[in-house]
Chains A and B, each alone.
Chain A
Amino acid sequence: MIKLIKICKSFKGQKVLDNLDLKIEPEKITVIIGRSGGGKSVLLKHIIGLIKPDSGQVLVNGVDTAKLNDKELNEIRKVFGMLFQDAALFDSMTVGENVAFPLKEHTKLSKKEIDEIVEEKLLAVDLKNVTHKMPSELSGGMRKRVGLARAIALNPKIVLFDEPTTGLDPIMCEGIDNLVINTQRHTKATFVVISHDIRSTFKIAHKVAMLYKGKIIKIGTPEEIRLSNNPVVKRFIG
């Protein structure tokens, strides 16, 4: 269960999040939409404690992560997986080593067991024969898939996605959308997805939240969002 309460965050006097409240339902896919540069990534980074709020609370399973020290934060983060906007793969490691990284760091599994999980996770994101490639040899869509495989390597209870489909061609987008839906159905994890792609949002979301001027101005099922009278929401979903 994730709850953000009265979050304020400014960078050099520029207010990015302004008294933001948001409750994210467990075991569902929540998609956060909003214009580019509107603070969606900043919001997501608050959830996993990469950015601390100027004021307000970030509750994860009832614990305020904004108040934790590094060690406690690292404990909490073990239930998280995160896919970054540009995948953030370690470019000094092969694809296989990238996916194996969290397993090596946080489990006592043997090399053989880790290799098996890596293959399984790569297969789950529809990648074959890439284990020994370097990230720089992959296309954008493949990198995102590897990023997803790494994010779900430890079977996290909460997975955060920063624009998983941005910059991909339509076929690739559809592939990633299906991947998100299937992975969530399979793992029953809580997914928080950032998107500015309306079509894909309505396809994957259980809940949609609209971020505008530092606040969540509307949250509801895709149907509720589609029928919303809020002028900003209407304009955004066109």
Chain B
Amino acid sequence: MGYESSNHRSNEADRNPMIRLLELAGRPFIIAVEESGRIILLLISASTWMLRPPFRFRVIFKQMEFVGVNSIFVVLITGTFTGMVFALQSYHGFKMFGGESLVGATVALGVTRELGPVFTALMVTGRVGSAMTAELGTMKVTEQIDALHTMSVNPIHYLVMPRIVAAIVMLPVLTIVSDFVGILGGYFVGVELMKINSGIFIAKIVEFVELEDIFNGLIKAACFGLILSLIGCYKGIRTTGGAEGVGKATTQSVVLSSVTIFISDYFLTSFMF
């Protein structure tokens, strides 16, 4: 559809190089708008399927397990080291004016509000979002999705909806884990290596970190879960072009999800804090 209409337009544009230039510059924008539209339509469709029986609890639980099992290890590692490096950096910063006692609170705030949700989401995107695209993409190019249609099973109901629900539920869970080991890593660096007083380290965390900080971080995590699973599924079910197409779709899915996570993180933060 879009293909034909843009063809038609370029015939006219042949006469005017200015229009042609504008069109060339505008095309990526048009494609981006079209693609966003289709992603939102998929979200609407998946949401309505959430409310219709059968509710597919088994498939959802299987996906939750998949998300959790596949990501827990990388989340533990990245979470711990993020907390550690953050403690190290802030220690050197705060030492300049004798504020070492604030290292714990700084790490805890940074991790719960920002680094925990974002790094967890990026890791899950790499491990799980990509796997969703690859799996659904393979199903698409080997006609398994068509086969679902012929058996009167809607692929959005059976494949997309459970993955989105699972990611929305599991991302906050993984983020809690990441927050916890992040603060633990910060504690290790601050107290064990840099010899900050343990009591003060903890007291400042309790003083400065509100439950709301953690909670808002988890809301972010749920949003990121939605983003990475929605884009992962979208890229998967629209895959064409055989095994090569699956590879391309997977790369696109990871890049688009990551970028969208960063952008939406800014806006979520500006609404929340």
By a beta-carbon cutoff of 8 Å, the part of chain A in contact with chain B is 12, 45, 48-50, 70, 74-75, 77-78, 80-82, 84-86, 88-92, 101-102, 105-106
Contacts and interface: CB of A to CB of B under 8 A. Distances in A.
B144 A50 contact: no
A70 B144 contact: no
Contacts of A84: 143, 146-147
**How big is chain B's contact interface, by range?**
10 to 19
B144 A91 contact: yes
Counting from the closest, the 8 A-B pairs by CB-CB distance are A74-B152, A88-B147, A88-B143, A82-B150, A77-B152, A84-B143, A102-B151, A88-B144
Interface in B117-173: 135, 138-139, 142-144, 146-147, 149-154
A50 B3 contact: no
Contacts of B151: 77, 101-102, 105-106
29 contacts: A12-B3, A45-B146, A48-B149, A48-B150, A49-B149, A50-B149, A70-B154, A74-B152, A77-B150, A77-B152, A81-B150, A82-B147, A82-B150, A84-B143, A84-B146, A84-B147, A85-B143, A86-B142, A88-B144, A88-B146, A90-B139, A90-B144, A90-B147, A91-B144, A92-B135, A101-B151, A105-B151, A105-B152, A105-B153
B103 to A, nearest CB: 47
A155 to B, nearest CB: 14
A12 B6 CA distance: 13
Contacts of A89: 144
B152 A50 contact: no
A84 B145 CA distance: 11
Contacts, number: 47
A129 to B, nearest CB: 24
Interface in B235-268: none
B155 to A, nearest CB: 11
Contacts of A75: 152
A14 to B, nearest CB: 12
Contacts of A88: 142-144, 146-147
A86 B242 CA distance: 13
Contacts of A102: 151
A12 B3 CA distance: 8
Given A85-B143, A88-B144, A50 B154 contact: no
B253 to A, nearest CB: 19
Contacts of B143: 84-86, 88
Contacts of B138: 91
Contacts of A86: 142-143
Contacts of A12: 3
A113 B229 CA distance: 36
Contacts of A81: 150
Contacts of B142: 86, 88, 91
A50 B153 contact: no
A138 B146 CA distance: 21
A106 B144 CA distance: 18
Nearest to B135: A92
Given A12-B3, A70-B154, A77 B144 contact: no
B146 A106 contact: no
Most buried by A among B143, B144, B146: B143
A85 to B, nearest CB: 7
Given A50-B146, A75-B152, A101-B151, 12 more contacts: A45-B146, A49-B149, A77-B150, A77-B151, A78-B152, A85-B143, A88-B143, A91-B144, A92-B135, A102-B151, A105-B152, A105-B153
A32 B147 CA distance: 20
Contacts of B150: 48, 50, 77, 80-82
Contacts of A85: 143
A157 to B, nearest CB: 14
Nearest to B143: A88
A102 B152 CA distance: 8
A81 B150 CA distance: 7
Contacts of A48: 149-150
Nearest to B145: A88
Contacts of A74: 152, 154
A66 to B, nearest CB: 15
Contact of A106 (B3, B149, B152): B152
